[in-house]
Structure 1
């Protein structure tokens, strides 16, 4: 892993820190404008809607244009949008919906170009290591450092986390500027739907996509009103909400660091993650009434999520032809992340009609059914390989991505 990889890794970590600030500050800002679960869930709905609408186009762009330049453009756009949000933070909640949508749209580009850039900067046999380090650093910044800092800054001054977020995007852009990558793209304009067609025709990736999509749908249902869950069930303050989000990161960091070793040594690692995740959600919904208890279940859940993420990302990078990787990755994003606005909408309505715990129980039931049905197929699929083999080997195991 050379200079380009470390610059990409550093830029990703810095921008993830800004995303962590945003993760805590945006729902807190919404909660200052309304306590209606439906309206608060609307922020998640509009923020995730772009994954459904523009993912395929972002993937086609990633396969046609220089990924480094696309990433730079997206980072600067996100920087500008955060500055606008900071300047007009006290506007109507409809303005918040619009900004969430625009920021989410800009985020589809880094997601699309990230997979090809990783593959271009890392040798095949090092993909698990690279993805593991990337997942660990992103979990640390996005969930462990960012949310508590975002909650603290929000408590000090409402626009502060958004200004700092804008700064992180500028720093990330400066790091990516120093990368030197070749622009060797096809002369013919790639068709966006080719990636979706390739994905649907690949049995293993289809199964992975179904499990990941279900997981993301369920996570979106619970996250849509999580700020109210934290305030009303756990009695947390604004700063405490940031700490609550940070508990999710501990397992993610460990999972990213240990994923390579677990996947290569233990055949049923991935199957275990599929079973454990809904069990941990059940613990949160039933017996967790304080931050410490929630943290225990959340750490195990995020550890499993990280292991799945490393395994599926490495498998996808090895399996998909380079010239299709941006489109296939974005097609998978279209499905797995495109369900999030649906989940956010369902979560808000369910919480409004049946109470704040209802989305958790619906999510647990749905994820358990899909997980159990997918186990046999996953056990026959090699999601990654130990030692850098180019060919799949018998199974080893979420990013929900």
Structure 2
């Protein structure tokens, strides 16, 4: 997921109002981050393949996978502090260099014909940490490269890019591995080099000027947590993100069992995942359209309701076509609400807090992913797939009702206000000069509580 200095309305139609496709700096950042995401996904898929095909045990594969996701729990909040404390361009350059070294070391190890588990685990941890910090910095930088009315479209394109990277990265990683065990890791290292090159050509600053001196890590982490807690909508959003992530982890595990129990193959799961990815891309690209027409509260509550209605049929079908359609619908709604929540978070969060606030939401999601995977195993073993999926649908329905009854959600206003709407859709009297809210104002003065 910056407001500009006040200017005359007629200036908004000048060169600064160019479309995103002509925004050189945004395109460089978008392309570089997209290539980096694709490489990360390809390398992540290749980890277990490398371990198993080189004679490692399932325990070894699990250890490498654990090392790759451990940064989501250990590094998330400190990474948010680093993104807010240091120059974001330099942070992202350092992340790309770390990724090049880590993945280059793995590629060299494989080319040498060996498999040293400690090196592979260390490389997976370094790559995961660097990718996490890079994403935080990139998201925080976006609003410094685009105009306020372009923010929803920019973050929608970012979400679509992430969905597409997930869709293509898996086949790319496994396909490259079949050609040569070192290739996925070499490709990931090359992707980091491409991202590094795009960063060096960006002209604009990726952050506002820093005035406050760095403080203790604990103090700065607490500041980010405290700011989220003080925002009513943010508090509610963290709970909804955590709950939905937990439920979808359970549902994803249930899908694997449903396919296996009825004679399907891993390829079936892969096809369902590809269809779901297409739905996610469509939802991300459609986010700005929905934001111009619906209040944020309607989108959030509608997403939870849609998830409830789409999850329930999963308990009663084994048809892969229908399962793919249901997952595509869920991914569409998920990407849509990601864009809406991301735009709101980026717009109302002070620039100096962007990294820490984003890291709070990311930690809530990643933590519940881990808990959901653990809970899903126990629930499926105790209840079976059908009853577990019905339980997931019931829990999602409870979340939808809670959102409808929550004052923080119900009173959230339009995400696309007059400032966000396309100029051609505004009546002349609606077009008002853009205005920067002074940085020293309290968060509540920056945007009304619950407003987009």
Mark yes or no: TM-score above 0.5.
yes
Q: Which residue of 2 aligns with 1:111?
A: 135
For normalisation by structure 2, the TM-score amounts to: 0.75
* Greater shift in the superposed pair: 131-140 or 274-283: 274-283
CA deviation map 1:240-281 (0-9, x unaligned): 655443222111111111111112213423321112224333
Matches of 2:312 and 2:104 in 1, distance apart? 39
Q: Which runs of 5+ in 2 are unaligned?
A: 1-19, 421-445
Report the alpha carbon displacement of residue 108 of structure 1 after superposing the two structures with TM.
2.2
Query: 2:153 aligned with 1:153, yes or no?
Result: no
- Assess if the C-alpha contact under 8 Å between 1:67 and 1:117 holds in 2: yes
Report the alpha carbon displacement of residue 237 of structure 1 after superposing the two structures with TM.
4.9
CA deviation map 1:150-197 (0-9, x unaligned): 333334444433332222222122112211233622341152220011
Report the alpha carbon displacement of residue 84 of structure 1 after superposing the two structures with TM.
3.5
- Assess if the C-alpha contact under 8 Å between 2:277 and 2:331 holds in 1: yes
Q: 2:274 aligns with which of 237, 246, 249?
A: 246
Report the alpha carbon displacement of residue 70 of structure 1 after superposing the two structures with TM.
0.6
Q: 2:309 aligns with which of 265, 273, 279?
A: 279
Q: Which residue of 2 aligns with 1:77?
A: 98
Q: Which runs of 5+ in 1 are unaligned?
A: 397-401
Q: Which residue of 1 aligns with 2:285?
A: 257
Q: Which has the larger radius of gyration?
A: 2
Report the alpha carbon displacement of residue 18 of structure 1 after superposing the two structures with TM.
1.7
* Greater shift in the superposed pair: 340-349 or 352-361: 352-361
Q: How many residues align?
A: 392
Matches of 1:229 and 1:162 in 2, distance apart? 33
Q: 1:179 aligns with which of 192, 202, 205?
A: 202
Q: Which residue of 1 aligns with 2:191?
A: 168
Q: Which residue of 1 aligns with 2:14?
A: none
Note closer, same or farther for the CA distance 1:287–1:9 as it changes in structure 2 (3 Å cut).
same
Q: Which residue of 2 aligns with 1:25?
A: 46
Q: Which residue of 1 aligns with 2:154?
A: 130
Note closer, same or farther for the CA distance 1:43–1:355 as it changes in structure 2 (3 Å cut).
farther
- Assess if the C-alpha contact under 8 Å between 1:49 and 1:341 holds in 2: no
Note closer, same or farther for the CA distance 1:60–1:294 as it changes in structure 2 (3 Å cut).
same
For normalisation by structure 1, the TM-score amounts to: 0.83
Q: Which residue of 2 aligns with 1:339?
A: 368
Report the alpha carbon displacement of residue 107 of structure 1 after superposing the two structures with TM.
2.2
Report the alpha carbon displacement of residue 110 of structure 1 after superposing the two structures with TM.
1.6
Matches of 1:393 and 1:193 in 2, distance apart? 21
Matches of 1:286 and 1:35 in 2, distance apart? 36
Q: RMSD value over aligned CA atoms?
A: 3.5
Q: Secondary structure at the match of 2:292?
A: helix
Note closer, same or farther for the CA distance 1:229–1:149 as it changes in structure 2 (3 Å cut).
farther
Q: Which residue of 2 aligns with 1:399?
A: none
Report the alpha carbon displacement of residue 355 of structure 1 after superposing the two structures with TM.
6.3
